[in-house]
Amino acid sequence: MSAKNDSSTTTMNEAKRMRLEKKGWRFGTVKEFLGLSDEEEAFIEVKLRLAKSLRAVRIKRGLGQVRAAKLIRSSQSRVAKMEAGDPSVSVDLLMRSHLALGVKVPALARIIAAK
Those residues of the chain that have pLDDT short of 50 are 1-8
Tell me if 68 sits within 8 A of 79, measured CB to CB.
Answer: yes
**What's the CA gap between 34 and 57, in Å, rounded?**
31
Instruction: Give the Cα separation of 43 and 45 in Å (integer).
Output: 5
pLDDT, residue 5, reads: 44
Question: What pLDDT shows up at residue 11?
Answer: 63
What is 36-113's CATH topology?
434 Repressor (Amino-terminal Domain) (1.10.260)
pTM: 0.73
Domain extent listing, the chain: 36-113
Q: Using CB atoms within 10 A of its CB, is residue 101 exposed (0-12), middle (13-18) or buried (19+)? A: middle
Determine the pLDDT at residue 4: 43
pLDDT reported for residue 6: 45
